[in-house]
């Protein structure tokens, strides 16, 4: 499995192109559909599915054009569908833990509300696409509409229990870095550490 990190837009969004042979998935495609189309063509890839970590505009902007062109429905947690502004008929809305088999990919959905009510992490093999839930050394904002700091703490504890070699790929490259491991974050990320400590104190 190959993972390309594509940085697009004014907010340092990380868009992920996951491929295996000629089959590809996009995670959080936004901002520049021409560039993404060009990248798919250049690599000779066939887009099988589109997944969204959550519905904020910077993770979905112009994605509806891509979905329409490829005649695909994007996968999004149902609580974030309205927030996304994407027509509901262009989305496969789901809730809870899910596993989707798409071509050669087994895509596991881990609900991680907190940043938004419908936020999820997307696990494919050893790779975990964390959107705006978990960043290297930080977590997403919890002061936005549909944010919930308590849910975020629970979500961080849930992620901390994944195998420590799980590679994380975050939704932005704040500070130039969008990748880390669960093992590293469990030790070094103050938000995850505090969430684990609080959970253990209960
Ligand atoms: Zn966000």
- Among the CATH numbers 3.60.15.10, 3.40.720.10, 3.40.50.920, 3.40.1360.10, which is that of 2-201? 3.60.15.10
What pLDDT, in 10s, does the model give residues 33-71?
999 999 999 999 999 999 999 999 999 999 999 999 999
Q: Is the pLDDT of residue 176 over 90?
A: no
Give pLDDT tens digits for 73-113.
Answer: 999 999 999 999 999 999 999 999 999 999 999 999 999 99
Report residues near ion ligand 1: CB below 5 Å: 56, 132
Please provide the size of the chain in residues: 202
Question: How much distance in Å is there from the Cα of 126 to the middle of ligand 1?
Answer: 23
Mean pLDDT over each residue of the chain, to the nearest integer: 97
What Cα–Cα distance (Å) separates residue 54 from each residue in 14, 20, 43, 193?
13, 24, 27, 24
Ligand 1 center–CA 105 separation, angstroms: 25
Q: What pairs with residue 57 in β-bridges?
A: none
Span from the CA of 75 to the centroid of ligand 1 (angstroms): 16
Q: State the distance from the centre of ligand 1 to the C-alpha of 153, rounded, in angstroms.
A: 16
């Amino acid at each position: 499995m190959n993972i390309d990190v594509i940085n697009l837009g004014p907010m340092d969004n990380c868009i992920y192109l996951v491929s295996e042979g000629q089959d590809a998935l996009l995670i959080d495609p936004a901002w520049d559909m021409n560039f993404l189309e060009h990248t798919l063509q250049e690599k000779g890839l066939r887009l099988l599915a589109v997944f969204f970590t959550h519905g904020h505009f910077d993770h979905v902007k112009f994605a509806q054009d891509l979905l329409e062109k490829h005649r695909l429905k994007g996968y999004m947690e149902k609580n974030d569908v309205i927030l996304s502004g994407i027509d509901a008929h262009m989305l496969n809305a789901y809730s809870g833990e899910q596993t989707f088999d798409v071509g050669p990919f087994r895509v596991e959905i881990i609900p991680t509300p907190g940043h938004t009510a419908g936020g999820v992490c997307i696990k494919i093999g050893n790779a975990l696409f964390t959107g705006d839930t978990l960043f290297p050394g930080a977590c997403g904002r919890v002061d936005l509409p549909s944010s919930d700091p308590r849910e975020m703490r629970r979500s961080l504890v849930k992620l901390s229990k994944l195998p420590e070699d799980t590679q994380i790929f975050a939704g932005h490259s704040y500070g130039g870095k969008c990748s880390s491991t669960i093992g590293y974050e469990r030790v070094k990320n103050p938000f995850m550490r505090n969430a684990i400590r609080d959970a253990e104190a209960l």
